[in-house]
Amino acid sequence: MSRQFQVVIDCHDPDRMAAFWSAALGYRVDPVPDGYDNWMEYQIGQGYAENERVRFAAVHNPQGPERLCFLGVPESKTVKNRLHLDIQATLPDDSPARNIERVDTLVAELRRLGGTAQRTGRERGQYFVTMTDVEGNEFCVH
């Protein structure tokens, strides 16, 4: 039996990360339940003990079960990721020129949102850009 999962990313600012990654992936930010202004207020309203409350935000695929959760932590990122996301910006039937155009268009949008392009490469016939998100986590746009 296969199992669903979510990817959890430690960060300083869960809301900023959720905004960035929802735009990067075309996902939706998980809404706070009605009657609450934010997730911390919700946790307090649900009676979570103070030591069980966490700062977080999440985004989900509106057509599927995929979900990224951003968990607020005090420490900063200090080393290269051991795991990273690859965002597929291209379509299977795109020409090589159209692949480059689609990748570069998404990279430009993500740079406007605070991402940083690190390097451009070609590997196994693919054009890609390695980037970092708003908190320095590496990912690639193919």
> What's the burial of 137, exposed, middle or buried (CB within 10 Å: 0-12/13-18/19+)?
buried
Percent of the chain residues topping a pLDDT of 90: 87
Percent of the chain residues topping a pLDDT of 70: 100
Q: What's the mean pLDDT when you consider all of the chain? A: 93
Q: What is the DSSP letter of 83?
A: S
Q: What is the pLDDT of residue 18?
A: 97
Give rounded-to-5 percent helix, strand, coil for the chain.
25, 30, 45
Instruction: Give residue-wise pLDDT tens across range 43-102.
Output: 999 999 999 999 999 999 999 999 999 999 999 888 888 889 999 999 999 999 999 999
Residue 5: pLDDT over 90:
no
The candidate with the shortest Cα–Cα distance to 107, out of 82, 132, 125, 83, is 132
- What is the torsional sign of CA 111, 115, 121, 124? negative
The candidate with the shortest Cα–Cα distance to 6, out of 68, 79, 96, 49, is 68
Give the mean pLDDT of 22-39: 95
Q: What is the pLDDT of residue 19?
A: 97
User: Cβ of 117: how many Cβ atoms within 10 Å?
Assistant: 15
Q: What is the pLDDT of residue 88?
A: 94
pLDDT grade, residue 4 (50/70/90)? confident
Q: What is the pLDDT of residue 44?
A: 94
**Predicted TM-score of the model (pTM):** 0.88
Give the mean pLDDT of 4-23: 94
Amino acid, res. 97: A
